[in-house]
Amino acid sequence: MADGEPPAKRQCREEALIKREQDGDISFRYVLNNDDPQNLIYLVGLKNIFSKQLPNMPKEYIVRLVMDRRHRSVALLKRNGTVIGGITYRAFHEQAFGEIAFCAVTSNEQVKGYGTRLMNQTKDFARTLDRLTHFLTYADNNAVGYFEKQGFTKEITMERERWQGYIKDYDGGTLMECVMHPRVCFITLPDLVRRQRIALDDRIRQLSNAHVVRPGLSHFADAAAAGRPRTALHIGDIPGVREAGWGPHLAPQGPRYRLVLDKGGPPLEPSREVLQVFLERLLEHIKGLEDSWPFREQVAVQDAPDYYDIIRDPIALDVMEERLTSRAFYLTLDIFNADLRRLFENCRFYNAPDTIYYKLANKLETQVNNYLTHHIVFEDDLAAAAAAAAAAAAAAGGGVGAGVGGGLGLGGPEVAQVLG
C-alpha cells in the first residue's frame, strides 16, 4: 500500500475487493491446525508465503507458529484455492486479545488493497469466533506504517497485567495495539463509513451552505475586457461571503501604520494618493541605488536561456514601474512589497550564493529595509512616542494636555525625532 494514499482511495479499493468476493474471485478462510486436510493445505501455503516474504524469520520458527494448535490464521485465496496471503495470530481467549505473529501477501499480488481487506477480515473473525477485543503486535520499522493505516496505535490502552508475560518481546520492534469494538462489523466497514459520511454531509447541508458551488469572480476580467482600470472588489460583494456569516464587523481594519514622505515630515494616513507618492519615491530610490543595476530590467533570454524555465513568476523594477504607473495594480503596500521581496527571492533561487548577483540581492534588500524603517511608522510606535512626549512635557512642567495633543496630531517634533 502506497504511503500517503488518501483514505477515500483505500476505501474504493476495498469496495472493489468486496465486489470480487461476491463474484467468487477471492475468498477468506479462517483456518487452524485441527487435522482437517484442507486446513493443513492452506497452512502450508501460508507457511511458504511467510517464509518468502519474511526472509529474516527462521523457517523453523514460522512452521512452528503456523502449525501450532493455539494459533489461528486467516488465508486469502484465489478462485482456484491458491493461497496468496494471510495473517497468523495467537488467541489468548481468557485475556480476550490476540498477538499477530505474521502478516504477508505474495509479492506479485501486493499494492492491490489486499492488505487492508485481509486485516478487516481477520479482525472480524477474531471478534466473532475468538471473542477478542484487542490485537497486539510487534511491528518492525517497515511495517509500522501499514499497521497505523489499519487502526493500530503505539499507545497501549490495555492494562499491562492483561498482556504482560503472554506475548513475546522482540528487539527492534514497536509494540502496537488495535481495539476492536464488539459492535463494529469490520467486513462491512467501507459501507459503514460511507453511510456515516452521507449522514454527516446531510447534517452539514442543513446547517450551512458549504455545499453550494459558486462561479468564479469575473470582476477583474470584465474590467480588463472593457478597458476599465482595475479596481478593488469589496469582500462583501463576493457571492456567498455574506451568506457564510460575514458581516461588516469582520471587515479588516485600515492600515495600522503611517507613511513619511519627507525626512522629518509628519506621518500621513496611507490614502490612495499618499500611497502612490510613497511608492513612486521608494521605487525611484531603489533604482537610484548603485547595487540595483541587475534588477532594473527584465532578464534577457540570451543572457540566461533557462531563466524563465526555472523562475515561474519573474519580476523586475521596470515591470513594477509599469504596474505603478497604471495606478490600479499596487492598491496596498503589501502588494508592492510582495513583488519587491519576490525580486530578491528569484535572484537568490536562480543564482548560487557565491555569485555577485546573489550578494547584490542581499545588499539591496538590506538597503530597502533601512529605507522602509525610516519611512513607515506603526501605530504602536506612534502611541509610544505620544506617551514619551507626554511624560517629557509633564516633567518639564508643561502639563500633560499639551504633550498628548502634539503626539496625537502626528506632526509634533517629538514624533519627528522617532522617525529619524
Q: What is the pLDDT of residues 327-379, one digit of tens each?
A: 888 989 999 999 999 999 999 999 999 999 999 999 999 999 999 999 999 87
H or E segment and range at residue 63:
helix 59-67
Could you say which DSSP state residue 243 is in? T
Please give the mean pLDDT across all residues of the chain.
Answer: 85
Amino acid 399: pLDDT: 40
Q: Are strands 134-139 and 97-105 parallel, antiparallel or unpaired?
A: parallel
Q: Is the model's pLDDT at 193 over the cut of 90? A: no
Q: Is the model's pLDDT at 407 over the cut of 50? A: no
CB atoms within 10 A of CB 164: 10
- How much is the average pLDDT of 166-178? 86
Burial label, 227 (beta-carbon count in 10 A; 0-12, 13-18, 19+): exposed
Give the number of residues written for the chain.
420
Amino acid 383: pLDDT: 63
User: Does 3.40.630.30 match the CATH number of domain 9-188?
Assistant: yes
Q: Which residues pair with 97 in a beta bridge?
A: 92, 134
Q: Is the model's pLDDT at 40 over the cut of 90? A: yes
Nearest to residue 94, comparing CAs of 132, 68, 40, 123? 132
- Cell (9 digits) for 306: 533557462
The yes-or-no answer to whether 9-188 and 257-378 have a common fold is no
Q: Is the model's pLDDT at 418 over the cut of 90? A: no
Distance, in Å, from the CA atom of 261 to the CA atom of 55, rounded to the nearest integer, reads: 75
Q: Where are the domains of the chain?
A: 9-188, 257-378
Strand order in the sheet with 134-139: 26-31, 71-78, 83-92, 97-105, 134-139, 174-179
Amino acid 420: pLDDT: 30
- How much is the average pLDDT of 21-26? 84
Q: Is 297 a catalytic residue?
A: no
Amino acid 202: pLDDT: 92
% helix / strand / coil in the chain, to the nearest 5?
50, 15, 35
Is the Cβ–Cβ distance between 268 and 259 less than 8 Å? yes
Q: Is the model's pLDDT at 265 over the cut of 60? A: yes
Q: Which residue has 469494538 as its cell numbers?
A: 181
The runs of H, that is alpha helices, within 28-133 are 37-53, 59-67, 114-128
Q: Which residue has 516474504 as its cell numbers?
A: 53
Q: Identify the band that residue 9 occupies on the pLDDT scale cut at 50, 70 and 90.
A: low
Q: Looking at this protein, which amino acid is placed at residue 284?
A: E
The catalytic position among 14, 21, 60, 99 is 99
Q: Is the model's pLDDT at 84 over the cut of 80? A: yes
Domain 257-378's class? mainly alpha
Which of the pair, 178 or 21, is modelled with greater confidence? 178
What end-to-end distance do the CA atoms of the chain give, in Å?
63
Which of the pair, 412 or 210, is modelled with greater confidence? 210
